[in-house]
Structure 1
Amino acid sequence: MNIGDAGDVVMGEFWTGDFFSSQSLKIAASCAHLNGTQIAGAESFTGNANWLEHPATLKNLGDRVWTTGINRIIFHTYTHQPGDVGPGYTMGGNGLEFNRLNTWWKQGKAFLDYIARSQYLLQQGKNVADVLVFTGEASPNDATLLSEISAMGFDYDLIGTDKMMKLTAQNGVLRTDSQAEYRILVLPESVWMTPEVLSKIEELVKNNVLVIGKKPQKSPSLEDYPHCDNKLMKMAKSLWGKGLIKDISIQELVKEKNFISDFTTSKGFVKDISYTHRRDGEVDIYFVDNARQESLDEICRFRVGGKQPELWNPETGEIREIAVWKDNGNGTTDIPLHFESDEAFFVVFRNLEKEKNHFVDVKIELNKPEEEIFPGLEIIKAEYGTFMPVGLVDVTQNIRNSVRNGSLNLFCGFNLSSSDPAPGYIKEVRIDCEIDGKRQELRAKEGEQILIRAVRSLEILNAVYGRFEADIRHIPQSYAICDVTDYIKSQFMSGMKKIPVDDNLVKGNQSDLGPERELHIVYSIAGKIQKKNLPMGTTLDMSQPWPVSRVLTNGDKIIWTTPIPGSLTYTTVSGKKKSVQVSSVPQPIRLTGPWNLCFPQDSLHLDELVSWTNLPEESMRYFSGTAVYKKTIDIPKKWLRSNSSVELDLGNLAEIAEVIINGKNMGILWKPPYRINLGDAVHGGKNDLEIKITNLWPNRLIGDENNPDSKTTFSTIKVWGRNSPLLPSGLLGPVIIRPYQNIELK
């Protein structure tokens, strides 16, 4: 932390893959906030991509990084390409292949626009955090991650010794020398502290700052020893003895003081929904992220009152005043928000220039048709239980097997596990054991050795190896994981479309499944492999989602736009309750064959949409790049009335689409759901539709391994062989033209 004080742009890093570490990110963001600088950077998307990453796979991780306080993505890596034959030069397989020879380079502009819009807002004003966490006086020190603070709907920053000594306080508010403000100071879990630091804390407490933490007992310095210890203990006895500082948890303090969360939902903490908050003068800017691979509807509560909320969509650049919201009169505002799968957006609060019409409550009842299972759904693997945190593996049995006659000589390294649980990170092993009847916890970093020689007995109770995030302060317990693949398959085969995630998945199983049970499922749709992790209490839904019915502002008007008949009841801010009905909406049109599919060197007619890997021509099966689907579509004139709109839904595809209708480019669709409003680009009758689909490099690389004499690619590494499976590619559908009814609400 002290080193970060001197940096103009402090950076952390993060890797792609299942394991996500936020420790360096929290340090970098905290340094930027304490230094008063606008930029907190990160070396981004490091890993072994092998040309499998694309904007849709990167977005989820990038959004999560922004909620830690990082606001500048610095790609790892752009490799110079002196030639024009792809995929080209690499960094030996390390890093994202972010360069001009990647298949999606041109279409990736839409993703970069998303990043640019988001980071513009994330760099405005100052970060809002309630809690300051002192990392202690050890050097070097690591991040102190307190996930319990985030779970309560608050944010926090870390602070080192140098900045700690510069803190000031007035009326219970902590201030840094850059004028960042906090309400609570949390001390480290340590018995060590110098008298100078505790004296500074005493000064802050006298200015009514709330401080919690463990009472220090000794000074880590030999300066003025042993008087320094006596001085420290005397101050500590006074501060903790009088209750000026309490050794209680942050949860206890928040409950005692009845603090209002900065952001929460009507359900309290919802896993996979996270936020960050900045304030620029009188404007409050919240970035809210749904990291779950499914849509969510939540009533979100923001600690802002008396201001007009707006929704800023970084995917499209669209800004709308929010139509449905309620000022609770206590400095908070409730807003019902719909999140699509893996969607994030900004909620911006600005001062009301004048009282505008809006609704405080809306209830919608729709006459939904029967939902259908995703076509081509295949359940590959489903497991239920309490899983080991990502980045860690249970190595208890391995270490037990290494015990010989009450002795253990253990080297900490890759030998402990069959695979690397956290590639690119320094790992450690933690062992819970009994040595001659005495319970102990032993720890060793990679490259270190543990040597135990018990006199009577040595028992290994629990052992875990990997990357321990700073908020994992114990040795995680390993629990039984139940394979529920066959049960899930049978439920879907019997006609079930939604399956509750609860213990009925393992009915009759008496194993201890642990306290934080989840369903981890791997499945494929039209050959595209996908994953979901669903906590207990949620629902596994494999039906094709209908687009939602929304209440939106359009200038000074409030519009209900719906693709399905139904009724809507709304309550205005003045308390009036009204209802409207939509009795019918035209049925969507499913676009079937024929399609004209054009590759750069060839074309063919398709009677139905299939993956390119199923096409008859070898050059098409192994194709990597962009191909174009062409079709003439007929849109009924009645769909284009003033109270109607038309949407194109591409269903499933791999991996990026660009839509052109009647010669007008409608934009790039780079993440699901692949839907776009056709606006005034369409007319009644015949319309020319073009859909450009871009896939990834592996298929062409696999093809060249099968036909080395006609090789068309060049790369400095080989990761794909002749027997590697081809990746589903192209437009997979179903493709639907969907009408909406738009009703003005007054």
Structure 2
Amino acid sequence: MKAQFLHPPEDARPGVYWYFMDGNLSKEGMTADLESMKQEGIGSVLFLEVNVGIPRGKVDFLSEEWKTLFAHAVHECERLGIEMTLGVGPGWTGSGGPWVKPSQSMQHLVSSSVEVDGSVKKPIVLPVPLPKRPFFGEDVFTPELEKEWMDFYEDVAVLAFPLPDPYTLADVDEKALYYRAPYTSQAGVKEYLPCKANYPVPPEGAVIEKNRIIDLTGKLDADGKVLWQAPPGKWVVMRFGRRNNGAATRPAPLPGLGFECDKFDTTAFNAHLKEFTGTLLQKIGPRNKSSPGGLTMLHMDSWEMGAQNWSVGFRNEFKKRRGYDPLLFYPVYAGKIVESVEISERFLWDLRQTSQELIVENHAKHLKRYSHRNGLGLSIEPYDMNPTADLELGAVADVPMCEFWSPGGYNASFSCIQAASLAHVNGQAVVAAEAFTAVDGWRQHPASMKNQGDWALAAGVNKFFYHTFQHQPLDDKLKPGMTMGPYGVQWNRNQTWWPMADAYHIYVSRCQYVLRQGNAVADILYLTPEGAPHIFRAPASALSGDVFLPDRKAYNFDGCSPGQLYMASVKDHKITFPGGASYHVLVLPAWETMTPALLKKITSLVEAGATVVGSPPQKAPGLSGYPQCDAVIRSLASELWGSSDIPATQTVRRYGNGKIIWGGEGTSRTDNLYPVYDVTAALLAAAGIPEDFKSDPAIRYTHRASDAWDIYFVSNRTDKRIQTNGMFRTAKGAPSLWDPLTGKTYDLPEFSERENQITVPLQFEPYQSFFIVFEKSNKKPVQSNNFPSVTLVTTIDGRWTVSFDKAWGGPGTTSFDRLEDWTLRPENGIRYYSGIAVYTKTFDLPVNTKLQKGEKLFLNLGEVSALARIRINGNEVGTVWTAPWKVDISEVVKQRQNLLEIEVANLWPNRLIGDEQLRDDGIQHDQWPEWLLNNTRRTSGRYTFSTFKHFSKGDPLLKSGLIGPVIIEQSHF
């Protein structure tokens, strides 16, 4: 492990979202992209073609030329050893395209109704029901596609019933899965739909009696007439039919625009796969198995195609799964009450549960089987507008995936906890993330991302896919080049600092490698409720830090879906899963319902020795087995808890070899469905289980373990230097420090041991992180200090020679009397410069500089904006991108006449802002500029070209260059 920590394996390298923009692609650009990735330490790409704010290119999506280029990209990945993941449809939302017929698209059950008087004899004519939701693709739709959307309609049923008094179920559009808004980007969206034991009683006349509903389906003719005479009284006749739900591929390249395929029906899904992935698999041919690269995965990205509640076979699937016919409950889709509010709400629960099961089994699991048959894996990003429970859908994936945005973007941090929980419970090594998604990302660079990246690593992520590496098909002189509109952290070969990126990527690779070893350690398992939709949000009290970067507290936790819990057993009083994850306590949600099957599973775990915290359910959800199912729940709950009355004080009830803890203010006081964290933590402490990690001031952490070792990743989440004592729950040997920034490892001699805890004095630079490793075979070392002491040897000041690239407006070679921010210089060629400049200087060491055994000399650059690569006497000694901003020069420095060369890269905004002072000769009205199309000389005087205007001429410039002070330090233990 130590050897691979120093030189991480290729599969530990981070990846990128490799975005292509609506026909703008080239063979040469693909090769250049991939070769630059390989050069700078990128090991994976996620291939998607989209259409966001750019003129269309010449290569139509899925044309023969496009497929040839795609095959070229795959084969280049094979040549270079880069793994490719392919999204399963155009755009990023899901699986669909122009080949999807309306009859095989996502569908809603829609309805129209008329009121009739049975005492009046006149024809009953039912209008064709209109679509329930607007067309999702309206921003890019074609008139032909909109006409298909409007024209598709098929009748399903006609029902009649006595006219009820006006009364409508609350939020029925959401409960009946007509609409599921984006949780991260739209305020007020519910994390879940509560399933209650008791519901309001409406006025008696507002209820439709099921035995008075008449099925008139066979009496509807082609003109919408119902051949039926209503009995005396006032009646409602409802016409139900199926329509497309309005979901279109988005943001798809124009030739890829079409309906999303039916997520309930494998026949419809197979038709889509045949047209898209099947065509591409045939084009690229057999995989080169001698290479680790090439096409290795398929991918479902964030669910952004809404919900569906109907399919051609839905009624039969519902009957098979729920045990009753939904026909007479169709009026509930429209918010009407059949039998009672409770009965109607139970039906809606069954509707959503059936939808979830069909999505999981006929879409996600079907895609997984398809992937495996083709020698591929499957990754899923299961969140946001997902109509299922996130953890139930994500549990299908070979690689669960999440997303986190750079500061200023949407807060999706909860999805990282979800994905990590999925992998930990399922025993999967890799947790992937769409990482650092951004708006106006030209401001970002490795140092600015260090703290958030370490947060993600501590949250459980160990495979970054940077969003986004925009494919660059344009001439290499046209930089920054292509972007995906305003989006992305701009992780591509046209970045100013890209030639220095590998130093950062190897840091990430070392961290990702180590954080895949062994099993994650956590003490608390939060069970999510049954039902859909559901987003797992841990108790806020279990997290520290801010809401954007929430760190777990001293007792770590995971979330678990009911479907995953069925895999659990008990060993040594811990809830254990086949993949190796184990937990001291299972915490139940404050939920009023539970199916008999799940309650029986929980009972078996307690009987086998588990500790469970939570109150008993009162009823079963849904109508399967109703009303007997409620009696079963009451009986099972009474057996396990002993009573349905919540005790006034916290109570421990022993059952079999385990125990249930419930009652009192502590377990009754909930924080986002669960008892507040302090209560659960106190229970663990009372059981003799100390906190897993503790320090003051707080340091974020995560912990992985095997029988032979414990590894803690610890990270300073502040911009201050910190000294602290870290308390680690382990007794597996003396500690050592593994530094992912340098790859170096060394023992830590200062520590104390007490009752399976080891306390280690630690010190951190701003935002610094490292691993503390406890290995059984490691003995206490002989040196005396954990961290070296540092003394100043000399300051390198005075005049510097600095060279700026003239091709980007720089003045060539000039001199600085002192180190200073480029934006403070009077020369426009320096103030507005973006790129790499080279600082050169010769220096001598003080005459009395001598190194004793164990001593080293370091060059410390002080402040740098933003990255620097250092050479001394022609020897490259390292690239600095984060604190402590220094490199070891002990082996290359001489006493006199040392040639120091420092390449410093700043960011693009300064040159982009400088160019905004000049005439705009870029994209206008979605058209490429004439000089670009005709390959003629630009006359505007601009140096840059980008497909999106990120800055205006009045925007402030960003601090740039080597600020210093540059010093030489001597360190010794």
TM-score category of the 2 structures, normalised to the smaller one: 0.5 to 0.7
Match of 1:351 among 768, 776, 780: 776
- In 1, the alpha carbon distance for the partners of 2:822 and 2:571 equals 66
CA shift, 1:152, in A, is 4.8
Whole-angstrom distance in 2 between the partners of 1:193 and 1:287? 38
| 1:314 has 2:314 as partner | no
Alignment check: 8 A CA contact 2:710 2:732 kept: no
Residue 759 of structure 2 aligns with an amino acid whose one-letter code is: D
- What secondary structure sits across from 2:891 in the alignment? helix
Q: Is the 8 A contact 1:639 1:645 kept in 2?
A: no
Q: Write the mapping of 1:251-266 to structure 2, written as runs, cut at 5 A.
A: 251-265=681-695
Counterpart for residue 619 of structure 1:
829
Q: Deviations over 1:669-717 (max 9, x none)?
A: 1013322232121121221111111000011111111133211111000
Cα displacement string for residues 321-358 of structure 1 (whole angstroms, at most 9, x for unaligned residues): 11212222x11111111011001111111112656436
Q: Which amino acid is 2:775 matched to?
A: R
Query: Contact between 1:640 and 1:684, CA under 8 Å: does it hold in 2?
Result: no
The equivalent residue for 2:420 is 29
1: CA distance, partners of 2:449 / 2:897: 38
Do the aligned residues in 1 keep the contact of 2:747 with 2:781 (CA within 8 Å)?
no
Letter in 1 for 2:715: D
Q: Does 1:40 align with 2:245?
A: no
* 62, 66, 86: which one aligns with 2:453: 62
Give yes or no for contact 1:551–1:561 (8 Å, CA) kept in 2: no
2:756 corresponds to which of 319, 322, 331 = 331
C-alpha contact 1:599 1:627 (8 A) present in aligned 2: yes
**Is residue 87–residue 102 contact of structure 1 (8 Å, CA) maintained in 2?**
yes
Whether contact under 8 Å (1:627, 1:694) holds in the other structure is yes
After TM superposition, give the deviation of residue 734 of structure 1 in Å: 1.9
For residue 588 of structure 1, report the CA deviation from its aligned partner: 4.2
Deviations, residues 424-463 of structure 1 (Å, cap 9, x unaligned): xxxxxxxxxxxxxxxxxxxxxxxxxxxxxxxxxxxxxxxx
Unpaired runs of 5+ residues, structure 2, are 1-390, 544-551, 643-651, 654-658, 668-678, 807-811, 920-939
What secondary structure sits across from 1:710 in the alignment?
Answer: coil
Shift of 1:278: 1.2
| Aligned equivalents of 1:252, 1:238: Cα separation in 2 | 26
Distance 2:729 2:615 in 1: 30
Matched residue, 1:160: 561
User: Which of the numbers 5, 8, 13 marks the counterpart of 2:403?
Assistant: 13
Report the Cα distance in structure 2 between the residues aligned to 1:651 and 1:355, rounded to whole angstroms: 35
The percent of aligned pairs where both chains have the same amino acid is: 36
Alignment match, 2:948: 717
Write out per-residue CA displacement over residues 517-536 of structure 1, whole angstroms, 9 at most, x where no aligned residue.
Answer: xxxxxxxxxxxxxxxxxxxx
Q: Which sits farther off after the overlay, 601-610 or 228-237?
A: 228-237
- Please name the residue that 1:117 is paired with: 510
Q: Which runs of 5+ in 1 are unaligned?
A: 360-549, 553-559, 564-586
Post-superposition offset of 1:17: 0.7
Change (3 A) 1:157 1:641: closer
1:730 corresponds to: 961
* Letter paired with 1:342: Y
Letter in 1 for 2:763: H
Closer/same/farther in 2, CA of residues 107 and 353 from structure 1, 3 Å limit: closer
Asked if 1:638 is matched to 2:848, the reply is yes
Tell me the CA shift for residue 652 of structure 1.
Answer: 1.5
1:130 maps to: 523
1:651-677 deviation digits (Å, cap 9, x = unpaired): 212111111111111101101332223
Note the C-alpha offset of 1:289: 1.4
8 Å CA contact 1:295, 1:338 repeated in 2: yes
Alignment of 1:55-454 (within 5 A): 55-83=446-474, 84=476, 85-149=478-542, 152-241=553-642, 243=653, 244-247=659-662, 248=667, 249-265=679-695, 267=696, 270-271=697-698, 273-328=699-754, 330-352=755-777, 356-357=781-782
TM-score normalised according to structure 1 size: 0.67
How far 1:551 sits from its partner (Å)?
A: 3.9
Q: How far did 1:283 drift? A: 2.1
Tell me the CA shift for residue 145 of structure 1.
Answer: 0.9
Q: Is the 8 A contact 1:640 1:683 kept in 2?
A: no
Q: For residue 679 of structure 1, give the secondary structure of its aligned residue in structure 2.
A: coil
CA distance in 1, matches of 2:593, 2:581: 27
Give the Å deviation of 1:5: 2.0
Total equivalences in the alignment? 517
Q: Is the 8 A contact 2:794 2:846 kept in 1?
A: no
Name 1:595's counterpart in structure 2.
Answer: 800
Q: Is the 8 A contact 2:440 2:950 kept in 1?
A: no
Deviation at 1:183, TM superposition (A): 1.4
Change in Cα spacing, 1:144 to 1:166, as seen in structure 2 (3 Å) is: same
CA RMSD of aligned residues (A): 2.0
**Matched position secondary structure for 1:639:** coil
- Residue of structure 1 equivalent to 2:935: none
SS in 1 for 2:492: coil
Which amino acid is the alignment partner of residue 965 of structure 2? Answer: P
Bigger helix share? 2
Which residue number corresponds to residue 97 of structure 2?
A: none
- Distance in 2 between the 1:590 and 1:726 partners? 29
The residue correspondences of 1:547-696 to structure 2 (distance < 5 A) are 551-552=786-787, 561-563=789-791, 588-601=793-806, 602-642=812-852, 644-696=855-907
Letter in 2 for 1:302: F
Q: Hey, which of these two has a bigger chunk of strand by percent?
A: 1
- The 8 Å contact of residues 640 and 646 in structure 1, kept in 2 or not, is answered as no
Partner of 1:382: none
The 1-side partners of 2:823 and 2:779 are apart by: 58
* Local SS of the residue matching 1:94: coil
TM-score by length of 2: 0.51
Taking the aligned partners of 2:732 and 2:709, their CA distance within structure 1 comes to: 12
Equivalent position SS for 1:106: helix
Give 1:142's aligned amino acid.
Answer: I
**Residue type of the alignment partner of 1:158:** G
The letter for the 1-side match of 2:694 is: T
- Alpha-carbon spacing, 1:227–1:175, altered in 2? closer, same or farther (3 Å): same
Residues 639-648 or 286-295, more deviating: 639-648
Q: CA contact under 8 A between 2:402 and 2:433: conserved in structure 1?
A: yes
What is the identity, as a one-letter code, of the residue corresponding to 2:395?
Answer: D
Q: Which moved more, 1:636-645 or 1:215-224?
A: 636-645
**DSSP 3-state at the match of 1:620:** helix
Deviation at 1:147, TM superposition (A): 4.6
Look up the SS of the partner of 2:963 in the other structure.
Answer: strand
- Whole-Å Cα distance in 2 between the matches of residues 147 and 288 of structure 1? 21
Cα 1:148–1:718 shift into 2, 3 Å: same
Q: 1:358 to 1:665 in 2, by over 3 A?
A: closer
3-state secondary structure, aligned to 1:245: strand
CA distance in 2, matches of 1:147, 1:639: 54
CA–CA distance in 2 between the matches of 1:26 and 1:68? 6
Instruction: Give 1:80 shift.
Output: 0.7
CA distance in 1, matches of 2:829, 2:790: 43
